[in-house]
Amino acid sequence: MRHTILYAALIMIAFNACKEDFLDIPSETNLTTNTFFTSQSDFEKAVNGAYAPLRTLYNNPAANNSSAYFMGEMHSDNTHYVLNPNFRATIDQEQIADFIYDASSAIATNRYTANYLIIARANQILAQIDNIDFDATIKSNLKGQAFFLRALSYFDLVQYFGKVPLHLTPATTLNETYLPLSSVDSIYLQIIADASEAASLLPTKSVQEPGRATSGAAKTLLGNVYIVLKDYASAETVLKDVVNSGEYSLISNYAAVFDPSNKNNSESVFEVQYKEGSEGYASNFINPFLPQPISAEEITTLFAANGVYPANVQALTVEGYNIPTPDLIAAYETGDERKDASIGFVTASGKTYPFIKKYLHPHAQFGITNDNWPVYRYAEVLLLLAEALNEQGKSSEALPYLNMVRKRAGLADITSTTNLSDVILHERRVELAFENKRWLDLVRTGKAVEVITAYGTRVKANPANYYYPPGFAPVPASFTNIQLTFPLPASEALLSPYF
């Protein structure tokens, strides 16, 4: 994290230096000055820059280690990997899925640093924006986005790492780039404060520029936080605000929710923005989600069957990640339309495997796609509200919200309130499959150790069912020590006296 804070500070130094005489000698102790932003345009660009690390966090094809889905889906019973014994360049991805913890994990480290880069950029904005005079409405919007992004990042950090340093102002000296670990309670208090401020400052979805944080997104984040903290009454209040706002509605066709032609649709509360093309903003979820090795011919056959015809299709020879498990496939009820929309089957090296179909859409060039990543959808708002009501003993009030989601999936209403907590958790699993929710759901409901231990037993007993080739199985250390958070990155511990 010190690397990240220092990196952000040095960027600011470079930005400022461009406007000063090159003979000026920079301070060797101070990292920042207060002269970087002088106009509305400067802050607009800075806010754009604060969003940018989200793209790497959710999709990092260059490193093949996008931490969001590895730590949210593969680090659960939803997805696994197709072991490739001939690919041993890195086992980081496998260890994440096998519940083997390594403080040197590039995947976990990238998540940590991406979040702190967002935080550092948000802090720079918030520290200076009130010093510059420009349109008050625009200023409130920009501040709200910065508060939202900081809240979202700290929520991500505290759920995956627990205690972390709480940076709320820009680092101005080298010593300020590292801070003591803050308690989980204090981090959550800050998240609530930031998300609440964002909700009060941000415009509604119908007013805001598409793709940016809104008051509805901030309230959804706040509701999610209250659910994790088991403050169900507060969650009910804020989530009902989102439902009653009239800003959101379910798309009638589940598959259409994820179609790039429907970006930022009526169901979208907040999604990470990608753009197909050569500018460097494209996504590429589908390629690493295919089982590998897979030939160019096998990929072409699959794509053509789904109306996808990109140029320059090439074989993929690394290792397939985020492959749906038999456990998840079996979790769908008969007639659930979400199953076929989310999961397909493909032949790779002559063998049939499931794959995530949810993100397979037309694109012009192989590996350069236009899909956004959903962080919050209205369907999740409805399920969170159902959970908040049920946990307060208002189970009959919870049913309509749960059944709105089920009806869209082509399923019958739930009429019984027996074991409704488990029913809602199951509904979240299939509705939000491959959206990085499963591991955190297991943790906050207290089911992580029980569910993953049983899952690990199944994987070890029948490795072929979980995509291991003949003669191979998980390493003995797999699934033997289920921890609820990841170790803080070793690279940061080397720099900080507090880790």
- pLDDT tens track for 466-497: 999 999 999 999 999 999 999 999 998 888 88
| Separation in Å, CA 474 to CA 77, 470, 479, 485 | 14, 12, 9, 21
Rounded to the nearest 10 degrees, the angle between the axes of helix 378-391 and helix 215-228 is 40
Task: Name the more confident of 171 and 65.
Answer: 171
Of 347, 371, 395, which one is at a domain's C-terminal end? 371
pLDDT of residue 42 exceeding 60, the answer is yes
Confidence of residue 304 (pLDDT cuts 50, 70, 90): very high
Tell whether the model's pLDDT for residue 93 goes beyond 70: yes
pLDDT-derived band at 7, boundaries 50, 70, 90: very low
- Residue 329 is predicted with a pLDDT of 98
Judgement on whether residues 42 and 156 belong to the same structural domain of the protein: yes
pLDDT band at 4 (very low <50, low <70, confident <90, very high): low
312 inside domain: yes
Q: Does residue 407 lie within any of the structural domains?
A: no
User: What average pLDDT does this structure show over 293-321?
Assistant: 97
Query: Is it the case that residue 8 has pLDDT exceeding 60?
Result: no
| Domain assignment present for 294 | yes
Q: Final residue of a domain: which of 371, 404, 438?
A: 371
3 and 135 co-located in one domain: yes
Name the band, by pLDDT with cuts 50, 70 and 90, for residue 23: very low
**Whether residues 291 and 191 fall in one domain:** no
Task: Calculate the alpha carbon distances from 50 to 6, 118, 130, 436, 442 in Å.
Answer: 16, 5, 18, 21, 30
Q: Phi and psi of 110, rounded to 5°?
A: -65, -35
**Total tally of structural domains belonging to the chain:** 2
| Alpha helix positions (H), 229-305 | 232-244, 296-305
The yes-or-no verdict on residue 253 having pLDDT over 50 is yes
The confidence score (pLDDT) of residue 29 equals 44
Domain annotation covers residue 465: no
Q: Are 337 and 409 in contact (CB under 8 A)?
A: yes
Whether residues 46 and 152 fall in one domain: yes
Say if residue 181 is exposed, middle or buried (CB neighbours under 10 Å; 0-12, 13-18, 19+): middle
Residue 40 has pLDDT above 60, yes or no: yes
Residue with tokens 């998840």: 328
| 108/19 same-domain check | yes
Q: Is the pLDDT of residue 22 over 90?
A: no
Dist. CA 136–CA 61, nearest whole Å: 39
In whole angstroms, what separates CA 354 from the centre of its chain? 22
Mean pLDDT calculated for residue range 334-348: 98
pLDDT of residue 172: 83
Give the per-residue pLDDT at 5. 53
Q: Does residue 44 belong to any structural domain of this protein?
A: yes
Shared-domain flag, residues 191 and 288: no
> Do 30 and 139 belong together in one domain?
yes
Of residues 151 and 65, the one with the higher pLDDT is 151
DSSP-assigned letter for residue 173: B
pLDDT band at 36 (very low <50, low <70, confident <90, very high): confident
pTM as predicted = 0.93
User: Taking 80 as the threshold, does the pLDDT of residue 402 lie above it?
Assistant: yes
For the chain, percent of residues with pLDDT exceeding 90: 87
Tokens of residue 154, six digits: 């700290």
Tens digit of pLDDT for each residue in 267-290?
999 999 999 999 999 999 999 999
Note down the domain range covering 337: 283-371
Q: Is the pLDDT of residue 129 over 70?
A: yes
* Residue 10 reports pLDDT greater than 50: no
> Could you tell me if 190 and 338 lie in one domain?
no
- Does residue 209 fall inside a structural domain? no
Q: Is the pLDDT of residue 378 over 90?
A: yes
The mean pLDDT of the chain is: 92
Residue 31 within any structural domain of the chain: yes
Answer whether residue 96 shows pLDDT above 90.
yes
Q: DSSP string covering 311-370, please?
A: BS---B-S-EEEEEPHHHHHHSPTT-HHHHHHEEEEEETTEEEEEE-TT----SBTTBB-
Q: What is the mean pLDDT of residues 319-339?
A: 97
Q: Based on the fold, state whether residues 296 and 158 are members of the same structural domain.
A: no
168: CATH:
1.25.40.890
Q: For 55-81, write each residue's pLDDT tens digit.
A: 999 987 555 557 899 999 999 999 999
In a domain, 124, yes or no: yes
Instruction: Examine the fold and report which residue of 371, 398, 425 is the final residue of a domain before the chain moves on.
Output: 371
